[in-house]
């Protein structure tokens, strides 16, 4: 059986980019390594379910290895 594409980002459920987590008074967020968008984190610390962020709303980031 094939699961249909629901349009959710492949980064959903993964850890955010290292060093990108922000914790403000509203929510904890991080940058998705797949779509480069800043999204809310699930209480477990992984990226919450999200659609790929629009190109204009993506954030630049560099891998810690560079």
- pLDDT for 10 equals 87
- pLDDT for 2 equals 46
- Which parts of the chain register pLDDT below 50? 1-5
Is the pTM higher than 0.75?
A: yes
- pLDDT for 1 equals 45
- pLDDT for 60 equals 85
- pLDDT for 24 equals 86
List the beta strands (DSSP E) in the chain: 22-23, 28-31, 38-40
Q: Give CA angle at 39 (34, 42), nearest 5°.
A: 100
């Amino acid at each position: 059986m094939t699961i249909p594409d629901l349009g959710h980002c492949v980064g959903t459920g993964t850890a955010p980019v290292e060093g990108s987590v922000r914790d403000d008074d509203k929510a904890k967020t991080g940058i998705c390594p797949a779509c480069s968008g800043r999204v809310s984190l699930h209480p477990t610390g992984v990226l919450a379910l999200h659609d790929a962020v629009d190109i204009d709303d993506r954030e630049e980031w560099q891998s810690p290895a560079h």
